[in-house]
Copies of this chain bind each other. A is one copy, B any other.
Amino acid sequence: MGKISIKDIAKQAGVSSATVSRVINNNGRFSEKTREKVLALIEEFEYSPNIVAKSLRTKRSQSIGVIVPDISNEFFSQVTLAIENYCFTKGYSVFVCNTNEDEEKEKLYLKDLEAKGVDGLIYISGGTLDILSHISKRKIPIVCIDRKPKSKDVIIVESDNYSGGFMATEELVRVNCKKIVILKDYRNVTSAMYRFKGYRDALKKYGLPIDPTLVLSINISVNSARDAILELIRTNIAFDGVFATTDWLAVGALDALRQSKIKVPGEVKIVGFDNISITEYSCPKITTINQDKEKIGRISTKKLLEMIDGGPLSDSNEDIIIPVQLIRRETT
C-alpha cells in the first residue's frame, strides 16, 4: 500500500485533498473529528512522509492580500466578503487593505504584502497605479477587479460595464427622457469609460445628440453628485434624466432634486449603477444596474487560486466579463 496518494486518503475520509494536506501540516481549518479520521487512515495505510513531501506544495503562506479603496462602501464590502468566503472554503486567509485610492498607500501595501509572503493579490478598483512596477520580479499572481490596470498582462474580472451603461441609458430613453445627464468619474478608469461608451452608443441608437454640457465628470461622492446637479439647476440647463454611474452618485442626484423641489420620477428620471441596498430603501427606490458582487468576488478568487496552484500567471486576452441586469424600481 506504499503508493497510496493524498487523493486516496481524502476519498476514504470523505474530505477534500486540501483538507488532508491541512491535517498533515496541522495548519488551517478542519474539525477534530476530521483530524482523527485522516490520521487514522494515514496510519492504517502507512502513508509515507516522502509522498506527503512531494504532494504538498511548500512555501505557501495560505494567505492572499485584497487591496480595496474602502470597505465601508457596500459594493467593495460585498465583493470582499465573497472573496473571503471563497478563500475560507479553500483554507486561505485574507489580508484586507484599504487604500482610499491613495497611490502611496497602495505602493506601501504592495511592498508590505509581498514581505508578508502572500500567495496572491486581488486588486479591486485600482487602475491608476502601474502595479506590476511596484512588486518584485518574483511573479506573484494578481487578479484585478472592476478596473483594468495600466499594467497590461494582468487578469481582470469586471462587470459588463458597456452593456450596463447602454441598458441604463436605454431605460431612460424608454421613459421618454430626451436630455440625459451622465454623472461619471473624472478619471480615465476603465469601468467609467465603458459605462460612458454605453451611454454614448445608446443615445446614438435612439437618435439623441450627445450634449457635452450634460456630461459631468466629477469626484465619485454623494456630495460631488449633489453639487453637480444643483449647479445644473442653478444655471438653468435643462435635463430630464440622470444616468448616475454609481448608486451613491444617484443618491446625491436624488438629494439635489429633492432640495430643489423637482419631482422624481415626475420631472426627472434617474438610473444608478451597482445595486447596493441604499437603492432599495431610498425614497423613491432607485432603478439601477445590478453588479453581481458575489460572483465577481468568487470568480476572481477561483482564478487567483488556480494561478497560485500553477495555472498560467497571466493571459492578456482573458478579460472575464460578468453580466449585469437592469433592476427597475421607482425612479424611472
* Chain A residues within CB distance 8 Å of chain B: 26-31, 61-63, 70-72, 74, 77-78, 80-81, 84-85, 88, 91, 93-98, 104-105, 108-109, 111-113, 115-116, 251, 255, 277-278, 281-284
Contacts and interface: CB of A to CB of B under 8 A. Distances in A.
A77 B72 contact: yes
Contact of A112 (B70, B72, B93): B93
A71 B62 contact: no
User: How many copies of this chain does one complex carry?
Assistant: 2
Contacts of A97: 84, 88, 93-94
B71 A108 contact: no
Contacts of A30: 108
4 closest Cβ pairs, A-B complex: A283-B283, A29-B108, A96-B96, A77-B77
Nearest to A74: B72
Contacts of A109: 29
A213 to B, nearest CB: 28
> Residue among A80, A91, A96, A284 with the most chain B CB within 10 A?
A96
Contacts of A63: 95, 116
A116 to B, nearest CB: 6
A115 B71 contact: no
Contacts of A111: 29
Contact of A29 (B26, B112, B278): B112
A61 to B, nearest CB: 8
